[in-house]
Amino acid sequence: MTRPVVRLRRAVWSHTQSTRPGSISRQGRRFQSTTAELGQTKDLPLTGLKVLDLSRVLAGPFCTQILADYGAEVIKVEQPGIGDETRQWRTSGEAQKWRPEHKYMSLYFAAVNRNKRSVTINLKEPKGVEIVKALARRSDVVVNNFIPGKMEQLGLSYEDLRKENKGIIYASCSGYGASGPSRDRAGYDAIALGEAGLLHITGDEKGGPTKPGVAMADLCTGLYTHGAILAALNQRHNTGLGCKIEGSLFESSLSLLINVGLAALNLDRDKGPAKRRRGKRFGLGHPNLVPYGAFKTKDGMLFVAANNNRQWNGFCQRMGIEGLGDDKRFSTNDGRVEHREEINSILQKKFAEKTQNEWLTVFAGSGLPYGSINDVVDALEHPQAEARNMVIDVEQFEAAKDGMLKLIGPAMKFEGVPMNVRLKPPLLGQHTEEVLGGLGYLAPEIDELRKSGVV
């Protein structure tokens, strides 16, 4: 199967308010929707939506990349001469991929900044703030992840931008939220996960707390924020008014406690602090389900699960241990959880009898949940990843020595619309002249702004 190759189209923000078909608010602000039949859409769902991205690092950029993947026009505002700090977050040996003149590019940055345009603006300069306000007047959404109070200091608070645009959706992501004793603290992913209890419940049962391999608090906050923005757009469609959205790494992480959190809130509360349900580490296991986890085969590992009694019986039949399925002690999930160690010990001995591929053949077509534990290369080269176009080749990428960049594709697909990369991850300030020109600035004015350090 041929991987999708990026095809670029140039999108320019005009200094005049465009008229776009679709949902109309009381102020007449619009973002495009389609009237085509399902399966025949020509535009992505958020085509025509304008997003001003004042965020950096991961949570905010991940949010705005999702919006961009869905068709929104995103302008990313970066600090002149430095840019988003993740432009310099290169992993070991990565420097050899990039041309020496493009020192402000990294795979970390490229992972969450496709389909955006980069403009450099100094927010500490009054003229820089004026430019941002001009962009906000033509935007549907503004996203930032500054510490609470910083946007107010810059003159770019929700109230400031609301004066420019009553329909603006203003989304803020921070470490701990806009109120409370931790509001002024910087937010970092692993620290938020630690304070929210997630590190405590992650890792091997006999080991210490473990950090996930990627920044889950940042990524989940980005996901939550993008969903809240879409909800706010629907509200604006009904009321004609914008709104302010607040989220944080800490709150996102707390919300992910789900069943473990509710057990702590509702069980054994009257037994004293020492006996509270403070959360346990189960490694690859599950606190509420047995079997659920990874087992060693002759040559690898296999992850399996049986989430109900029907699956449990089918699982035992496939494994050739029907007697275990007939044991009344294990006939309910409560019983299986109670006898976790005994069941897992029996299953481990059984799995050790065959290779990973032999067990994959046993479970094929069973309808049971199972799968191998892949490394990252095996995962990205998985036949299913190829079938779903989850790796996209970007050609003629200026910053790369070989002109090539591979990206992980969008997770969601819309029928009738190719989910390709429309705009390559931008070079620092790549679109500054274009964006300022769209606001009505002439070339000599832009040159003067550069000389004075505004852009």
- Domain with residues 292-372, CATH architecture: 2-Layer Sandwich (3.30)
Omega of the bond prior to 291 within 30 degrees of 0, cis? yes
422: phi then psi, degrees, rounded to nearest 5: -85, -35
- Would you say 241 and 166 are in contact if contact means Cβ atoms under 8 Å apart? yes
The pLDDT assigned to 2 comes to: 53
Tokens of 128: 């820089």
- Would you say 25 and 115 are in contact if contact means Cβ atoms under 8 Å apart? no
The pLDDT assigned to 4 comes to: 55
Residues of the chain with pLDDT under 50: 1, 6-41
> How far, CA to CA in Å, does 256 sit from each of 15, 192, 251, 266?
42, 12, 9, 17
Catalytic residue among 69, 140, 189, 218: 218
**Rounded distance between C-alpha atoms, residue 372 and residue 384, angstroms:** 13
**Rounded distance between C-alpha atoms, residue 115 and residue 426, angstroms:** 8
Amino acid identity, residue 412?
M
The pLDDT assigned to 26 comes to: 32
**Rounded distance between C-alpha atoms, residue 356 and residue 370, angstroms:** 11
Three-state secondary-structure class, residue 291:
coil
What element of type H or E holds 76?
Answer: strand 73-78
Say if strands 141-144 and 116-120 run parallel, antiparallel, or are unpaired. unpaired
Domain range summary for the chain, segments of one domain joined by + = 50-257+420-452, 292-372
**Rounded distance between C-alpha atoms, residue 301 and residue 303, angstroms:** 7
- Would you say 283 and 204 are in contact if contact means Cβ atoms under 8 Å apart? yes
The pLDDT assigned to 418 comes to: 86
Amino acid identity, residue 373?
I
What element of type H or E holds 31?
Answer: strand 30-32
**Rounded distance between C-alpha atoms, residue 42 and residue 66, angstroms:** 19
**Cα dihedral across residues 97, 102, 108, 112: positive or negative:** negative
The pLDDT assigned to 35 comes to: 34
The pLDDT assigned to 420 comes to: 84
For the domain spanning 50-257+420-452, the CATH number is: 3.40.50.10540
How many CA atoms lie within 13 Å of 168's alpha carbon, on the beta-carbon side?
27
- Would you say 387 and 1 are in contact if contact means Cβ atoms under 8 Å apart? yes
Q: What is the 3-state secondary structure (H, E, C) of 125-175?
A: CHHHHHHHHHHHHCCCEEEECCCCCHHHHHCCCHHHHHHHCCCCEEEEEEC
- Would you say 306 and 293 are in contact if contact means Cβ atoms under 8 Å apart? no
Q: Is 402 a catalytic residue?
A: no
**Rounded distance between C-alpha atoms, residue 423 and residue 113, angstroms:** 9
- Would you say 221 and 247 are in contact if contact means Cβ atoms under 8 Å apart? yes
Rounded to 5°, angle at Cα 295 from 292 and 299: 155
Q: Provide the phi-psi class of 297: left if phi over 0, else alpha when psi is between -120 and 50, else beta.
A: beta
Longest Cα–Cα distance in the chain: 84
Tokens of 314: 């089918």
**Rounded distance between C-alpha atoms, residue 443 and residue 2, angstroms:** 43
**Cα dihedral across residues 438, 440, 442, 448: positive or negative:** negative
**One-character DSSP codes across 81-124:** TT-SGGGG-PPTTGGGGB-TT--S--HHHHHT-TTEEEEE--TT
The pLDDT assigned to 9 comes to: 40
Query: In this structure, what DSSP letter does residue 308 have?
Result: S
Tokens of 211: 């950090």
